[in-house]
Homo-oligomer: A and B are copies of this chain.
Amino acid sequence: MSASGIRDYLDGPHKQARDVVRAGLAANAELFEFAVRQPRAEYRESVLEMLRAITAEGHPARGFPKEYGGGGDLGGFIAGFETLAFGDLSLMVKAGVQFGLFAGAILHLGTERHHEEYLADAISGRLLGCFAMTETGHGSNVQALGTTATYDVATGEFVVHTPDAAARKDYIGNAAQHGRLAAVFAQLVVGGERHGVHCLLVPIRDESGEALPGVTLSDCGPKLGLNGVDNGRIVFDQVRVPRSALLDRYAQVDAEGNYFSAIENPDRRFFTMLGTLVQGRVSVGGAAINASKVALAIAIKYGAERRQFGAPGSAEETVLLDYRMHQRRLLPLLARTYAMHFAQGALVDEFVRVSADRSSEHDQRALEAQAAGTKALGTWHATETIQMCREACGGAGYLAENRLATLKADTDVFTTFEGDNTVLLQLVAKGLLTDYRESFGKLDPLGTARFIAAQAVEVAVEKAALRPLIERLRDAVPNRNDAADPDAGLRDDAYHSGLLRFREQHMLSGVARRLKAGIDAGDDAFDVFNRCQDHVIAAGRAHVDRVVLEAFQAAVESAPEEIQQVLKDVYDLHALATIEGERAWYLEHGRLSPGRSKAITALVNELCAVVRPVAVELVDAFGVPGAAVEVPMVVRSQHE
């Protein structure tokens, strides 16, 4: 077993893309000092400078079409972006805004003339831009945006306007200082008729950085973290842009004010447009998982050296990581980080596949759900892991110089941006309940409660399925009779899958049944949905838990022989810690006996001890650049 063997396997097909970014980060060690040592204004400028430096290294171009200077390698682009999360996270987020969101909107929502005019400059960082979607009063509910873009047939222009305070664009990266052009999401009004949310390119600053007439820009001010990103607010007062400013891939307006779209249903059109932006969600989940790796690398290296208290009669104090409680706090999170890494890899593969072949709307919707679920679990995982690492490093973990503080502050908003996690898990559950056939599904989870209920029941009936399926699973899963030998089969992959699949299916069918019963009883659809909301979200989560688990299983199976055993140990720790975390549910549903439930807890403890001796190798295998990990407390602990 060697760390480099595991590292190669973790890096997978996009190893080269990752290594380019790693080398860039390693060559700029001062990068890791920005957040700590610089006042906000300078920090922003340093981040901008680094942003331009990475364009020179070619990272962002990798994901764009070759005709605009790109490399046409979507998978490598995302892997490289994720790797940026080993460095300063403001740089990562600013790169996400510029290349993923701003350039991505032009690429996916625009047509050739937009590509010709803007893409090369956006990719090279010469033209800095904003992705102006969120408004002060409208966060998750994007369809309710208030900004309007009204076509004036007399001049052939769109008039972009902020009608009230709630419609102010808010939290927009690059808006406070650097952005010159904004991709603005607004309600399109043509000939007095509203056509829903569309995207237009609106210049907001001149070359000297001054706001253009009619545009009011302000700064969101200090944030908990990510202070190297200039988030700001934008208010439009009747700002005129030419008709060509509309990103018109999915809808066009001609000079006479006729509106055309190949997608007739407005909801479907909206979700088709949004769907092209799934890349942002895919990327943020991966970045969060990588930020967890940095925190674990720091905390585990520190815990493997730092001594505190001693065994009786021993002159030396005991290494922290030899304490059971310390293992319990860190090692299941390390195992879950491996699980999330492989789940993210599978998601990126699927994203590349679906992007290349846009034929199936079903697959596109399923991909969006997979991205939403991985983003939600990956970002919550980051919040939990970094918090635990901070606590496990005590007072030293609180000092900025040791990086955990910065990681914590910077990543905290990941659970919110690119989609609030609870809303995303609702989306996941909804997709499963309707088998993605509501292809133009509203983001609004309530407005369609009735539809979901009907669809869910139909899906359930059609699959013939739910009850027999559950029965089949029941057979596959050792049950109450496990009392005879509570340890039997606990490390069996099929057993783990069986339990997680049973839970997922049981929860989904339960939700479907409750929704249908409520609707059949004539209750208000909102109330019906709201009564089940916690259940819906739990069902979404149960699904993603299962997908993550099975991605890890597949990765163990295809691993090179020399690292297979160590990965299997880590996998088992992840699987059993996951089941342990939900053991109340399994006990309630007769899927675990009390004896077996306790045996699982005991085995998690044992597996922590099994993984402990290779814990440092396991974090080394993440390939986090040295400068990110060699913080003062780690260096000191290694020399004491």
Contact A317 B144 (CB under 8 A): yes
Contact present for B447 and A310 (CB under 8 Å):
yes
Q: Are A636 and B312 in contact (CB under 8 A)?
A: no
Return the contact of A36 from the options B222, B314, B420, B525 (Cβ within 8 A). Answer: B222
Asked whether A531 and B324 contact (CB < 8 A) given A311-B446, A446-B309, A640-B137, the answer is yes
A224–B317 contact, CB under 8 A? no
Q: Which residues of B have CB within 8 Å of A597?
A: 584, 587-588
Given A170-B395, A399-B223, also A312-B447 (CB < 8 A):
yes
Q: How far is the CA of A408 from the CA of B171 in the complex (A)?
A: 20
B139 touching A395, Cβ below 8 Å = yes
B398 touches A412 (CB 8 A): yes
Q: Out of B221, B308, B420, B422, name the residue touching A139 (CB < 8 Å).
A: B308
Contacts A134-B395, A446-B311 given: A605-B534 contact, CB under 8 Å? yes
A141-B317, A412-B390 known; A36+B221 contact, CB < 8 A: yes
Taking A139-B308, A222-B401, A395-B413 as given, write out 7 further A-B residue pairs in contact, using a Cβ cutoff of 8 Å, ordered by the A residue number: A36-B222, A137-B640, A312-B446, A312-B447, A312-B449, A325-B533, A587-B587
| Most chain B beta-carbon neighbours within 10 Å: one of A223, A328, A537 | A223
Within 8 A of B (CB), among A154-188: 165-166, 170-171
Among A277-319, those with CB < 8 Å from B are 307-312, 314, 317-318
- A-B pairs, top 3 by smallest CB distance, nearest first, are A224-B405, A311-B526, A584-B584
Query: Which residues of chain A from 391 to 444 have any CB-CB distance to chain B below 8 Å in the complex?
Result: 391, 394-395, 397-401, 404-406, 408-409, 412-413, 415-417, 420-422, 444
A140 interface contact, C-beta 8 A: yes
What are 9 contact pairs spanning A and B, CB under 8 A?
A134-B395, A171-B399, A222-B400, A324-B533, A387-B412, A391-B415, A391-B416, A394-B420, A583-B588
Partner of A584, one of B166, B415, B583, B636: B583
Expressed in whole angstroms, the minimum distance between the Cβ of A372 and any Cβ of chain B is 16
Q: Which of B309, B323, B416, B636 contacts A444 (CB 8 A)?
A: B309
A598 and B588 contact, CB distance less than 8 A: yes
**Which residue in B134, B398, B533 is a CB contact (below 8 Å) of A223?**
B398
A111 at the interface (CB under 8 A from B): no
- Is A153 an interface residue, CB under 8 A from the partner? no
- Of the listed residues A318, A394, A406, A531, the one surrounded by the most CB atoms of chain B closer than 10 A to its CB is A394
Majority-rule SS of A interface residues: helix
How far, in whole Å, are A171 and B225 apart by their CA atoms in the complex?
A: 22
Quick check: B401 and A141 within 8 Å, CB to CB?
no
A131 to chain B, nearest CB (A): 14
Whether B399 pairs with A220 at a CB distance below 8 angstroms is yes
Q: Shortest CB–CB separation between residue A221 and chain B, in angstroms?
A: 5
CA distance A310 to B530 in the complex (A): 11
Question: With an 8 A cutoff between CB atoms, is A322 at the interface?
Answer: yes
| Contact residue among B139, B165, B308, B636 (Cβ-Cβ distance under 8 Å from A394) | B139
A141 touches B594 (CB 8 A): no
With a CB–CB cut-off of 8 A, which chain B residues contact A308? 138-141
A253 → B minimal CB distance (Å):
28
Residue in contact with A534 in the complex, picked from B36, B224, B328, CB distance below 8 Å: B328
Q: How far is the CA of A448 from the CA of B313 in the complex (A)?
A: 11
Residues in B with CB closer than 8 Å to A171 are 395, 398-399
Nearest-Cβ distance from residue A119 to partner chain B, whole angstroms: 28
Which B residues lie within 8 Å of A324 (CB)?
A: 530-531, 533-534
Contact A413–B398 (Cβ < 8 Å): yes
A413 to B402 CA separation, bound complex (whole angstroms) = 14
- With known contacts A312-B525, A323-B530, A584-B583, A417–B395 Cβ distance under 8 A: yes
* A191 on the B face (CB < 8 A): no
Residue pair B141, A309 in contact (C-beta under 8 Å)? yes
State the Cβ distance, A104 to closest chain B Cβ, in Å: 20
Asked whether any CB of chain B lies closer than 8 Å to the CB of A39, the reply is yes
Instruction: Annotate A27-69 by CB proximity to B: 1 below 8 A, 0 otherwise.
Output: 0000000001101000000000000000000000000000000
A16 within 8 A of B: no
Smallest Cβ-Cβ distance to A527: which chain B residue? B311
Instruction: Report B-chain residues with C-beta under 8 Å of the C-beta of A583.
Output: 584, 588
A216 / chain B contacts, CB cutoff of 8 Å: none
**Which residues does chain B contribute within 8 Å of A395, judged by CB atoms?**
134, 139, 170-171, 413, 416-417
